[in-house]
Chain A
Amino acid sequence: MADAPSSISSRKGVPAAQAPGNPVRDVRGPIKRLYSSVRDGRGFDIVLVAFPLGFLFLMAGLPLLYNVLMSFQEVDMFSLGTLMRPFVGLKNYRDLFAQPETLPILANTAIFVAGSIAGQFLIGFGLALFFWVNFPGASWLRGLFLVSWVMPGLVVGAIWNWILSGDFGVLNFVLREGGVISGNIFWRSDPNYSLYAVILANIWLGTAFNMILLSVGLSAIPADLYEAAELDGANAWQRFWTITLPMMRSTIGAIIALGLIFTLQQFDLFAAITSGGPNNSSNVTQYWAWEQSFRQYDFAKGATISVLMIIFVMIASVVYVRSTRHEVRG
């Protein structure tokens, strides 16, 4: 209905139907009609939405498809400039799983994701519950925690790199003084600890974000529910389990899915703290894929790892969209 007058509301959820037998014929010229549609009608919306979607398709959609294409090709420095490179079928995928480091890196990724999300969520929930008790200055202080999230990841990595330093790191000093450890832990260079060093930094980085979103969820629970539960005889502990947690279900689902997405995007901390080392002991897929492309110049391998990971990320995001669906629809 390019020539219809403006109908900016479609409250009923279905677009207005093309009505049969409209007695009115539009006698204006096509250019004029186009112009008036952009000025007064649906055309305005189409123009507004067409450019960004086109841009996103070109710059995010096409690369995605190109990634899949490259994972079936042989790509090296010489064939980089051409589009039609030798097609190798599933060879890249077979090679990938034949490599000895593949499975440990996938396992590292799983540990990194699980450890980071568990830490961020539990600490974040604890802080959110604490700040939920409203006292003067609570919301300002709570917001201050978010500085960890707005700082560039590389700077966070640099600071933690220094804190986690083996001989002179302040963390080792604190742990020694507290009697937790007797000798220094070489967080970055000991293969047993290097992955946990990054997890620690990532928990610090993501906790505040978790807390803020959980706070929003908590404050959305109507206060009279708690009053009713209190009158019904529930104590604080029972109220938490029977009111707070069930009411927070969709928020918690969304936050965990979001944490999964953010954790799988984490790259800067690896670049700044361990570079995936020593000997891949702290390497994860998202860093490994980049290493293959930009350290080994094996772009096909990098693309292959990316395709596998992107499929996984997309599944996570479907979970996220589903858990926020009622809110997305408004």
Chain B
Amino acid sequence: MTKQIELSGVNKYYGAYHALKNINLSIEKGTFVALVGPSGCGKSTLLRSLAGLESISTGDLKIAGELMNKVPPRKRDIAMVFQSYALYPHMTVEQNLTYSLRIRGVAKAEAKKAAEEVAATTGLSHLLGRYPRELSGGQRQRVAMSRAIIRHPKAFLFDEPLSNLDAALRVHMRKEIRTLHDRLHATSVYVTHDQIEAMTMADHVVVMKDGVIEQQGAPLELYDRPANKFVAGFIGSPAMNFVPATVGEDGRSLAVDIGEKQTIALDRQLQPGRKVTAGLRPEHLHFVEPGQGVFRLPVGIVETTGSATYITTSTATEVTVVDTTRRPVGAGDVIDVSIRPADVHIFDAETGLRV
């Protein structure tokens, strides 16, 4: 497989502010990459650097093997879908779609034909003569997508394109974008702050924080083997429980600092007495008969969504448990839960790195 986008040792400074720190990332042709992280983590800056809207300070940026550091956006042959869609308000849908073609000097008839073809695939055929202000949010989103598709660019860049839509439409568009990607065999880079979007859509997820790539890999890889506490807490919903713990004398058990019965078995050998943080996903904590479990936990708050019930304990370190069996639990009850040794994530107490 060929590398479509390659970043090596990329840094970006705004004055003294270090926005991107030594970014190394290579994206293979045809993959869907999601950049995800909290706001201010640098994911948008990274995307804008790919587009050429920001210049990188040091390092190399290659698109399809060509060095792009100093190439203006118009010569990079990439398309971008903006969060606000950035549809030209003084142009009709058709003019919006064909704008990039007209700039490149494509003949009028040919551009019109291309617009009609793309509009047919995205369901915009009957809207070609309208102005953006006459469209609904979902339709505008489709125009923005079509405007990118029509060019057959080397890569598609998405800057939180679904954040202005309501929840139902967002779920629907998620699938639509992914389907489109597969059909076009496109290379896509997708920025989002929503880890569910990243997990469901991408082949490859890049988690960023403070200008640094914390971890990258396939979605399940990130879920199963988070490289550090940040990634572990960021991926998965509801978020992973972190509890302070100490490795037991034998090196194969863990003394956890919550509940009554506090020792859990380990599936690996660790240095006895080591201070660690145990990561327990709420969905991995399962109910057992009284006395059979590892933890006895007093219940604090019970929230239900219908499909699942989130139980938060009233222990000093709060723990969340997810139950999907409609077990009758109320505040003040005591529950018995257990976890498989393989599901326990262990992080160094100081560095937060995976052990």
Contact = CB atoms under 8 A, between A and B. Distances in A.
Whether A and B touch (Cβ < 8 Å) is answered with yes
Interface of A: 1, 3-10, 12, 14-17, 19-24, 26, 36, 40-41
Contacts of B53: 6-9
B interface residue count range (under 10 / 10 to 19 / 20 to 34 / 35 or more): 20 to 34
Contact of B54 (A1, A9, A36, A41): A9
A interface majority secondary structure: loop
Given A6-B55, A17-B15, 14 more contacts: A3-B70, A5-B70, A5-B72, A9-B48, A12-B19, A14-B16, A16-B15, A17-B16, A20-B58, A22-B57, A23-B60, A24-B70, A36-B72, A40-B74
A20 B19 CA distance: 15
A26 B70 contact: yes
A5 B69 CA distance: 8
Contacts of A21: 58
Contacts of B11: 19
A3 to B, nearest CB: 7
B72 A12 contact: no
Nearest to A7: B55
21 contacts: A4-B70, A5-B55, A5-B72, A6-B53, A6-B55, A7-B53, A7-B54, A7-B55, A9-B48, A9-B53, A12-B15, A14-B16, A14-B17, A16-B54, A19-B11, A22-B57, A22-B69, A23-B58, A24-B69, A26-B70, A40-B74
Nearest to B58: A19
A9 to B, nearest CB: 7
B72 A19 contact: no
B52 interface: yes
A15 B16 CA distance: 10
B125 to A, nearest CB: 35
B73 interface: yes
Contact of A5 (B14, B52, B57, B60): B52
A14 B14 contact: yes
Interface of B: 11, 13-17, 19, 48, 52-55, 57-60, 67, 69-74
Contacts of A10: 14
B67 A24 contact: yes
A74 B105 CA distance: 66
A52 to B, nearest CB: 25
Nearest to B75: A40
Contacts of B13: 16-17, 19
A9 B45 CA distance: 11
Contacts of A3: 70
A22 B52 contact: no
Nearest to A11: B14
A307 to B, nearest CB: 39
Nearest to A39: B72
Of B17, B48, B53, B70, most buried by chain A (CB within 10 Å of CB) is B70
A82 B69 CA distance: 56
A9 B47 CA distance: 14
Contacts of A6: 52-53, 55, 72-73
A99 B177 CA distance: 82
Nearest to B61: A24
Given A12-B14, A14-B15, A24-B67, A19 B52 contact: no
B83 to A, nearest CB: 14
A41 B74 CA distance: 12
Nearest to B70: A5
B47 to A, nearest CB: 13
Contacts of B55: 1, 4-7, 16
Contacts of B14: 10, 12, 14, 16-17
Contacts of B69: 5, 22, 24
Contacts of B16: 14, 17
A21 to B, nearest CB: 6
B43 to A, nearest CB: 15
Contacts of A5: 52, 55, 69-73
Of A19, A21, A26, most buried by chain B (CB within 10 Å of CB) is A19
Nearest to B74: A40
Given A7-B53, A9-B54, A15 B15 contact: yes
Given A6-B52, A7-B53, A9-B53, A41 B72 contact: yes
Nearest 9 pairs between A and B by C-beta? A19-B57, A14-B15, A40-B72, A12-B14, A17-B13, A24-B69, A7-B55, A5-B72, A4-B55
Contacts of B52: 5-6
B67 A12 contact: no
A17 B57 contact: yes
Contacts of B71: 5
Given A12-B17, A14-B17, A22 B58 contact: yes
A111 to B, nearest CB: 51
Contacts of B67: 24
A4 B60 CA distance: 14
Nearest to B60: A23
A5 B70 CA distance: 5
A170 to B, nearest CB: 51
B167 to A, nearest CB: 27
A36 B70 CA distance: 11
A150 to B, nearest CB: 29
B22 to A, nearest CB: 13
Contacts of B54: 7, 9, 16
Nearest to A25: B70
A239 B60 CA distance: 61
A41 B71 CA distance: 10
Contacts of B72: 5-6, 36, 40-41
A10 B19 CA distance: 13
